[in-house]
Amino acid sequence: MVALICQVEMRIQDATTLKEKRSVVKSIIERTKKKHFISIIESDFQDFWQKSQLSFAFCSLNLKDADKKLNNILDYIESNPYIEVYDIQREEVHL
């Protein structure tokens, strides 16, 4: 079994207030959680209005399936027109 942990840093384009930023981030979190059945949170930069970091984790039976799911999740997040992803870090834990 493989557990994948990923951190995605992004810039929220056109956000001019924390309220606008939080609306975009909350939407991404909720839609990603429902679509991909993962644990996901905003893990850093909560007080910055144009920057955010999302962290998520999930388990899979093998690395091939985990990589495929990770790519699908990242493609889904990056498809949001309000954000620009500029850093992705991943860690895999083999159990």
The total number of structural domains in the chain stands at 1
pLDDT at position 14: 85
pLDDT digit string (tens) for the chain, length 95 residues: 999 999 999 999 888 899 999 999 999 999 999 999 998 999 988 888 899 999 999 999 999 999 999 999 999 999 999 999 999 999 999 98
* Cα distance between residue 56 and residue 72, in whole Å: 13
State the CATH number of the domain containing residue 25.
3.30.70.1120
Alpha-carbon span 69 to 30, nearest angstrom: 17
- Count Cα neighbours of 74 within 13 Å in the Cβ-side half-sphere: 18
- Average pLDDT over all residues of the chain: 92
pTM: 0.86
Residue 5, strand partner residues: 57, 91
What's the residue count for the chain?
Answer: 95
Domain, as residue range, for 70: 2-94
